[in-house]
Amino acid sequence: MIKVWFDALTAKQARIAAVLSVVGRDEGVEFLITCRRYDYIEEVLDMYNLRYVCIGQHGESARDKLVRGIERQLALLDVVRGFDVHVSLTSPDAIKGCLRPRQTNNRPYGHGSLILRKQTNTPTG
């Protein structure tokens, strides 16, 4: 079974994560959805009766955003483990490089027009 981690930072991303999770479940894909306390993210995920882990919150000032982001990155290290695919729509906390999946191959997985590729630790050029 493929394990996918989706970090949803907005209500729109939460809806995308919810739909992918529902479709993925039918295809044998396990989803770990993480989010932060901001806007309507949790409400959207609750509408789909999905399990998710809410970590951190959105900062207000530039300094507060930096502090909240660092706190969230450290907290994510304790939650996010053993995933095969990472899906993020520009999550700065997830993209820092500290949360890489184990080495995998490049075999594509997909449903319809969505293709998820397993992430590798080797750079592409």
- DSSP symbol at 32: E
Question: Which residue type occupies 69?
Answer: G
pLDDT tens by residue, 20-78: 999 998 889 999 999 998 889 999 999 999 999 999 988 889 999 899 988 988 898 88
For the whole prediction, is pTM greater than 0.75?
Answer: no
Query: Are the CB atoms for 87 and 4 separated by under 8 Å?
Result: yes
pLDDT at 3 over 60: yes
Q: How many CA atoms lie within 13 A of 66 on its CB side?
A: 3
Task: Tell me the CB-side half-sphere exposure of residue 3, using CA atoms within 13 A.
Answer: 9
Q: In this structure, what are the phi and psi dihedrals at residue 4, rounded to the nearest 5 degrees?
A: -110, 135
pLDDT the model gives residue 110: 36
Nearest Cα to Cα of residue 59 among 49, 69, 44, 47: 69
Fold of the domain built from segment(s) 2-117: Rossmann fold (3.40.50)
pLDDT reported for residue 78: 86
State yes or no: pLDDT of 98 exceeds 60. no
* CA 66/CA 5 separation, integer angstroms: 23
pLDDT of residue 95: 61
The rounded distance, in Å, linking the Cα atoms of 92 and 89 is: 9
